[in-house]
Amino acid sequence: MEKRSLQISMARARHKIVVISERCKECGICITVCPVKILDKSSLRNSRGFRYPVASDENRCIGCRLCEYSCPDLAIYIL
């Protein structure tokens, strides 16, 4: 059981969240749909004044891609 937990933890750490900050319009959809609630608005703004999303803990990303599929501006994707 312990070994299985370790494998799941390592698998989660493989996902990379990429945000193209200049495309973001701060609609917040990605933040709302993320099932593990790791996305939040950055304290920084892009050149249009919008606060783009940042991940509080990328290791908790499960790679579901709901953020990627939901973003109307193709501003976030998962590797």
Q: Which is nearer to ligand SF4, 2 or 32 (CB)?
A: 32
| Contact between 46 and ligand SF4 per CB under 6 A | no
Among positions 22, 42, 76, 79, the unique one binding ligand SF4 when judged by CB under 6 A: 76
Total count of residues recorded for the chain = 79
Q: Distance of CA 12 to CAs 5, 53, 58, Å?
A: 11, 19, 9
The span from the CA of 28 to the CA of 32, in Å, is: 6
The span from the CA of 23 to the CA of 19, in Å, is: 9
Q: Are the CB atoms for 36 and 61 separated by under 8 Å?
A: yes
Q: Which is nearer to ligand SF4, 45 or 64 (CB)?
A: 64
Taking residues 26 to 45 in sequence order and writing x for each that binds ligand SF4 by CB under 6 A, - otherwise, the string is xxxxx--xxxx-xx------
> Under the rule (CB under 6 A), what is the footprint of ligand SF4?
17, 24-30, 33-36, 38-39, 52-53, 61-67, 70-71, 73, 75-76, 78
